[in-house]
Structure 1
Amino acid sequence: MLILASRSKARKRILKDLGLKFKVMPSSAEEHKGLDTHPARTVKYNALLKARQVAGRIKDGIVIGCDTLVWQNGRVFGKPKDLKDARTMLKKLSASPHRLYTGIAVIDVKRRKEVVDIEETKIFMERLSDREISNYFKRVSPLDKAGGFDIQGLGGLFIKRIEGCYFNVVGLPVSKLFVCLKKIGASLLMLFCAVTFYGCSTEYNIASNSQDWMMYSTEKEVAMGDSLSKQVEKEYKVVHDPEANERLRRIGEKIASVCDRKELLYRFRIIEDEKEKDMVNAVSLPGGYVYVYKELMKVADSDDELAAVLGHEVAHIAARHSIKRLQAIWGYNILSVLAAGTRNPDFAHGAQAAYLSILSGYSQEDELLADKLGARYTRRAGYDPGAMLSFLEKLRKRHKKEKPRALSYFKTHPFISERIKVTKEELGEKISFEDFININ
C-alpha cells in the first residue's frame, strides 16, 4: 500500500493522474522552520520527519513524505500566513529568480528501509503588478501553496520559464520519486513504467521533420480536442457574427488545405472574454480546433494578417505542439480523461488543467517553428506571409499602452523579437539589429 503523508491537493492529484492507488495519512509532525540552515537541508529533514511520523503508526506500507520551501536571496518562503503575507511574498518572488526545493522521503515500513532525496528547480517569473496579484487571488487561494502561487493553474501564466523539474514546482517531483522507490526496491516502479509507456509509439512528423514519441493516435487526439473545446465554449462567449465567421472560415480553410496535416477537420471559431472584451489573442487545441478572440479579428484588419495568424495556429496543430506539451506535463492518465470525454467524472478538472497548460505558452523552439511553418502555409494559400510582421508590430505598440493581463497575446505567445527575426529569415528579408535584441 502506498501512503501519502500529506494533505496537499496537488500531490494527491499527481499520484492520481499517474494511475496509482494510494491512501492519504497526513503527518502531525511539527516542521522545522529552517531559519538557520540551507533550505535543501531543511526540506530533507522535514520530509523524513513527516514520513517517519506516519510510518510509526502503521505496520506495513510505503510512506511518501514531502516538504517544499522557496528560497530567494537568502530568504526562505513557505506557505503564506494570510492574504497580506501572500501578496508581499508573491510581489518579492516575481521581482527576481528564485529556487524551489522539495525534500522527498520514502519509507518501506515492513522492510525498514528509508531513502531521502531532494529536487531543486529555478523559477523565473514575470514582474507582477498589484492589480495582477489581486486578480489572481480572486480566483486562486494562495494560502496552501509555498510561495503563494500554483504553476499548474492560473499561476502558470506568470512563469517565464523554469530550470529543472516541472512537477517539483507542482508539489511532487515524480522523477525523484521514481529514484527513491527504486532505491528501496519497491515493485511499484514497474507500475509507474506501465502507466507511463503503455500504448506509446513513434511516428514521423512531416511538419516538424522529426520522429515524434506519441501516446495517442490522431483519433484520440481529436477526442481530446473535442473535450477541450467544450471547456473553452463553456468559459467564453462564442460569437455568432455571420460575416466575421464567414471571413474566418474562408481564410482558415485555405490555410488548412495547404498545411502538413490534412487528415484533420479544422474548426475555426470566434470567442470573446466578456470580462475583458478588448482581449487580443488566438489559441489552437489538439485535433484541429482554432479559437480567435473577437478583438483580434478587428486588429488583423486585412485578410493577409488574419491568414498569417491562422497559419501560425494551424502550424502548432500540424506539429502537434499542444498534444506534446500536454503529454509532457500531464502524462498518460490525464490525457485518458480528456480522450474519454464527459463520461469520465474527472473530465472538468482535466479539461481545465490542460487548457491552462496550453494557454501558458509554448517553448521558444515551438513558437519559432510555428512561425516558419505559418509563413510557409500563408504563402501556399495565396496570402502575403509578411503580414505577420505588420501584425506583430501592431501588437507591440498596443502592448505598450494596455494594462497588464495574464492572457494577452504577448504573455501566451512570447519571444516576439526572436519570432520577428525568424519570420524575416523564412521570408528572405533583411534583418535589422533590433531583431537580435529583446525589445518586447
Structure 2
Amino acid sequence: MIQKTFLQAVIILSAFFLIWFGFSQLDFMKFFKVKERTENLEQKLGDLIWNQIEDTEDIITNDTIVKSLDKLIKPICDANDIDRDSLKVHIVIKDEINAFALPNNHLVLYTGLIEDCKRQEALQGVLGHEIAHIENKHVMKKLSKEIGYSVLLTAAGGTKGGQMAREILKTLSSSAYDRSLEKEADITSVKYLLKANIDPKPMADFMYQMAQDSNMDKSMYWIADHPESEERAKYILEYIKGKKLKSKSTISEKDWKDFQEQVKKE
C-alpha cells in the first residue's frame, strides 16, 4: 500500500514538472499574440484620435514651418538613435501653451507653445519630453490606467469611436502622467539634449516661467497640470549640475525668430 502511494506521488510530481517545463518553454507573449494585439490597438487609437483632431482643428501644413520644426527635432533623434520617420509630428493652430503625445507615435504641438518659448532649446526640451513618453510607452500605460483597457478596445472597434476619441484626447491633452512617469520623461529629455549637445537649462527655465506666470489661465499651460512644476525645474538643474555642456544652437537666432513669426501668422 505504501509502495503504491509512493509510486502515485512520483507519477504526479513527474507529471507536474513535465507540464511546468513545457509551459516554461512557451513564449506566452508570442503564443497569445499580446504584443501584436497591443500594437494594433495603439495604431487604431492613434489614428482615431488624430482623425478627430484633423476634423475639428486647423493644422499647419506650410512646408517652410514644417521643415523648420524638423530641423529642431532631427538632432535629438540622430543623437539618440530614434527613428525620425516613426514620429508623426503635427502643429495645431491653437493659442494654448500645450504639447502632448498620442498613441501610435503621434506628437501634437500647439502654436501657442511655439510662440511662448523664449529659446529654441526650451521647445526642444518639450519635444524631447513628449518623445520620451512615446519611446518609453507611457501613452498606453496612462490610458490603460485612467480609461481602462476594455474601454480602449471598445473605442477602437465600436460605433461610438468618435465620441470616445474626444474623451481620450481630453485625457491626454489636459492631465498629467503619474509623477514617476513625468520625471522619467523629464530626465530622458535632458539626456536626449545632452547627447545632441543642446543646453537643457532653457527647458528648466521654461518650466519655472510657466509655473510662476499668474497672468494666464492655468488651463493654457503645458506645465499647469504636471505635478510639482518648480520641483521638476530644480531636479533638472540638479541633474545637469557639474556636467560639461557642449551646447550649440540648432538653427540661427534669426531663423528661430522667423520660425516663430511664421507660426504666429498662420
Q: TM-score, normalised by structure 1?
A: 0.44
Counterparts of 2:74 and 2:54, CA distance in 1: 21
**Kept after mapping to 2: 8 A contact 1:264/1:287:** no
Q: Are 2:181 and 1:334 equivalent residues in the alignment?
A: no
Runs of 5+ in structure 2 lacking a partner? 1-27, 244-266
Match of 2:38 among 217, 235, 259: 217
**Kept after mapping to 1: 8 A contact 2:205/2:233:** no
The Cα offsets for residues 33-85 of structure 1, whole Å up to 9 and x where unpaired, read as xxxxxxxxxxxxxxxxxxxxxxxxxxxxxxxxxxxxxxxxxxxxxxxxxxxxx
**Kept after mapping to 2: 8 A contact 1:270/1:293:** yes
Counterparts of 1:338 and 1:246, CA distance in 2: 34
Counterparts of 1:395 and 1:241, CA distance in 2: 28
Alignment of 1:51-200 (within 5 A): none
The residue aligned with 1:5 is none
Match of 2:68 among 231, 236, 247: 247
**Kept after mapping to 2: 8 A contact 1:252/1:268:** no
Counterparts of 1:370 and 1:288, CA distance in 2: 15
Residue identity in the other structure for 2:103:
P
Residue 329 of structure 1, CA deviation = 2.2
Counterparts of 1:389 and 1:360, CA distance in 2: 20
Counterparts of 2:165 and 2:57, CA distance in 1: 14
Which structure's relative contact order is higher, taking Cα pairs within 8 Å and 6+ residues apart?
Answer: 2
Counterparts of 2:198 and 2:67, CA distance in 1: 17
**Kept after mapping to 1: 8 A contact 2:204/2:232:** no
The residue aligned with 1:348 is 162
Runs of 5+ in structure 1 lacking a partner? 1-199, 203-212, 431-440
Residue 375 of structure 1, CA deviation = 0.5
Counterparts of 2:110 and 2:35, CA distance in 1: 30
Residue identity in the other structure for 1:270:
I
3-state DSSP class of the match of 2:107? strand
Residue identity in the other structure for 2:241:
G
Counterparts of 1:385 and 1:334, CA distance in 2: 38
Counterparts of 2:35 and 2:241, CA distance in 1: 34
Q: Are 2:210 and 1:395 equivalent residues in the alignment?
A: yes
Residue identity in the other structure for 2:159:
P
Q: TM-score, normalised by structure 2?
A: 0.69
The residue aligned with 2:120 is 303
More strand by share: 1
Counterparts of 1:235 and 1:259, CA distance in 2: 34
Residue identity in the other structure for 2:108:
Y
Q: Are 2:106 and 1:289 equivalent residues in the alignment?
A: yes
Residue identity in the other structure for 2:46:
G
The Cα offsets for residues 169-205 of structure 1, whole Å up to 9 and x where unpaired, read as xxxxxxxxxxxxxxxxxxxxxxxxxxxxxxx959xxx
Counterparts of 2:225 and 2:62, CA distance in 1: 25
Residue 231 of structure 1, CA deviation = 1.9
Counterparts of 1:416 and 1:297, CA distance in 2: 19
3-state DSSP class of the match of 2:134? helix
Change (3 A) 1:429 1:393: farther
3-state DSSP class of the match of 1:238? coil
**Kept after mapping to 2: 8 A contact 1:225/1:287:** yes
Residue 260 of structure 1, CA deviation = 7.1
Q: Are 2:140 and 1:323 equivalent residues in the alignment?
A: yes
**Kept after mapping to 1: 8 A contact 2:207/2:230:** no
Alignment of 1:5-84 (within 5 A): none
Residue identity in the other structure for 1:427:
I
Residue 350 of structure 1, CA deviation = 1.9
Counterparts of 2:84 and 2:45, CA distance in 1: 16
The residue aligned with 2:196 is 381
Q: Are 2:77 and 1:256 equivalent residues in the alignment?
A: yes
Q: CA RMSD in A?
A: 2.8
Change (3 A) 1:214 1:329: farther
Alignment of 1:417-432 (within 5 A): 417-428=230-241
Q: Are 2:134 and 1:313 equivalent residues in the alignment?
A: no
Q: Are 2:232 and 1:232 equivalent residues in the alignment?
A: no
Residue 265 of structure 1, CA deviation = 0.9
